[in-house]
Amino acid sequence: MERTTKNRKSVLEIIKESEVPLTAYCISKQCDISLPTIYRALDFLTRSGEIKSFTWEHYTYYYSSAEHKHFFRCTSCERLFPLYECSVQDYEKHLEETMGIEIDEHFILFSGTCKECLQNKIQKENREL
């Protein structure tokens, strides 16, 4: 049985403290742990169920499984934003009843343009007029 090492604890703490999912590279910028060690820690933490991950445009992002959150990713600046509201429960119940399935969890990642980038786009368009 594998044990939780100091490095694994450090990586987990960084992920738990973050409002948004992080890549291994982002984690490496917040600690003094080599990237290969971070990847091993992420693999262990994912297998143990302490964190979850998703892949978007060739990057894998990691986030804590302790909290139910969804995210928004700006396609202009590429920042991630946490979304704390979730109104999918009624839809889940509907799917379970109509399809005869049992849903254990869901994950939602919206993408589009954030407020700041929209404002910058409008300002740029106004200057061009």
Q: How many CB atoms lie within 10 A of CB 94?
A: 10
pLDDT per residue rounded down to tens, the chain (129 residues): 567 799 999 999 999 999 999 999 999 999 999 999 999 999 999 999 999 999 988 999 999 998 888 999 999 999 999 998 888 989 999 999 999 999 998 989 999 999 999 999 888 888 877
Global pTM reads 0.82
Please report which helix (H) or strand (E) contains residue 64, including its range: strand 59-64
Per CATH, the architecture of 6-128 is what? Orthogonal Bundle (1.10)
Phi-psi region of 78 (alpha: psi -120 to 50; beta: other; left: phi over 0): left
* Domain coordinates in residue numbering, the chain: 6-128
